[in-house]
Structure 1
Amino acid sequence: MSRALWFLIETLGSLLATACLLRAAAMRFQLPPRNPVSQFVIAITDWLVRPLRKVLAPSRGNDWASLAAAVLIALALGLVWAVMFARGSDPKFIAVIPLAVFWLVKWAIYLVMGLVLLHAVLSWVNPQAPVAPTIEQLTRPFLAPLRRVVPLIGGVDLSPLILIVIAQVLLTLFESLFFSLVAAA
């Protein structure tokens, strides 16, 4: 029962934190606030980001309140995990911060992978979709360096595939490093 409950809590927390990261990316990459992605992300996260914005104002294109919201969600998930899986002993609160960092990096990598995958699918299926320019603007900073190095092959841009492979390798290396550090502790 606790595994199923944890799955639901982790899924909801991950989706909300990823939406906060996407909101921060939207501001960083200067997305217009009236596009469908921005409107959706703002609608989902505004209840959490708006109060934080009173303390953490945006500066130089960085949405510190959205990033802080993602961090708070990761820390809250870490606390819930520590309490739920204490196994009869004292909760391991020392694991909360490393877990939060691990989840934030994992969510950011998954966000990039998801956006790049969506961009690639839209470019093949419906490049004129209303959301396509927004996804292009979000993925351009990640794909542009690869596009300078990787040539088109038969008119096909392989940079999204290469970026997804690189992101997956980074995620695998980060997970191995994290779990080896946890095992050593």
Structure 2
Amino acid sequence: MLARAFLFLLDSLAGLLSLILLLRFFMQTFRVSFVNPLGVFVNAATHWLVRPLRRVVPSVFGLDSASLLAAYLVQMLPLLAVLLFAALGSAYGDVLETPYTPIVFLLGQALRSTLRLCAHLLIAALILRIIFSWFEVPSRIALPVSQLTRPLLAPIRRFLPPIGGIDLSPLVIILALEMIILFV
């Protein structure tokens, strides 16, 4: 029972930190300004982990590889704990029954978790953008959310203009992201 509580806590904290790291990655990829409350929070919450990685991990194609790698590595932590508990003979022994070696299992599951988190993060940003578009209330988070989702929506808007004043492009992107989640 204690192992389950520990794994739940570790998985929750790793998921939260990974989401923030992925948000940092997407904010830098889509050139979202960090001069807002969201950007300041993301930078402060992840700088301690990303800064040392940047010394070792180079930027690839202008993308923030250090943030992406950090999110991937953080997603490995709960899986490593499960493998450790399985090796010690707790209730997670069935994990070692996979047809893959534990290392391949660990790498694959961490990649799967990271991709799913990316999709969930982008879906949440799109839903926030939809909600912010309904209300004309200025928000300090509305601009970064708009900057974050604009590159996703622009290609769809070229082929699917607003119909009767309703923009369906977020719905198309959300459906595509849900398909990614389904297949991953």
TM-score normalised according to structure 2 size: 0.84
- Write the deviation string for residues 157-185 of structure 1: whole angstroms up to 9, x where unpaired: 111122112211221122xxxxxxxxxxx
Which whole-Å CA distance do the structure 1 matches of 2:88 and 2:147 have between them? 46
* C-alpha deviation, 1:66, in angstroms: 0.9
Let me know the Cα RMSD of the aligned residues.
Answer: 2.1
Does the alignment pair 1:113 with 2:158? no
Kept in 2: contact 1:24–1:67 (CA 8 A): yes
Choose between structure 1 and 2 for higher RCO, CA contacts under 8 A separated by at least 6 residues: 2
**More deviation in 8-17 or 54-63?**
54-63
Q: Which runs of 5+ in 2 are unaligned?
A: 97-101
Q: Would the alpha carbon gap of residues 90 and 164 (structure 1) be closer, same or farther in structure 2, given more than 3 Å must change?
A: closer
TM-score normalised according to structure 1 size: 0.84
Kept in 1: contact 2:18–2:75 (CA 8 A): yes
Q: Which amino acid aligns with 2:40?
A: Q
Kept in 1: contact 2:86–2:94 (CA 8 A): no
* C-alpha deviation, 1:60, in angstroms: 5.0
* C-alpha deviation, 1:19, in angstroms: 0.9
Q: Would the alpha carbon gap of residues 117 and 60 (structure 1) be closer, same or farther in structure 2, given more than 3 Å must change?
A: same
Q: Counterpart in 2 of 1:177?
A: none
* C-alpha deviation, 1:45, in angstroms: 0.9
Q: How many residue pairs align between the two structures?
A: 174
Kept in 2: contact 1:83–1:91 (CA 8 A): no
Q: Which amino acid aligns with 2:69?
A: A
Q: Identity over the aligned pairs, expressed in percent?
A: 37
1:145 to 149, 155, 158: 155
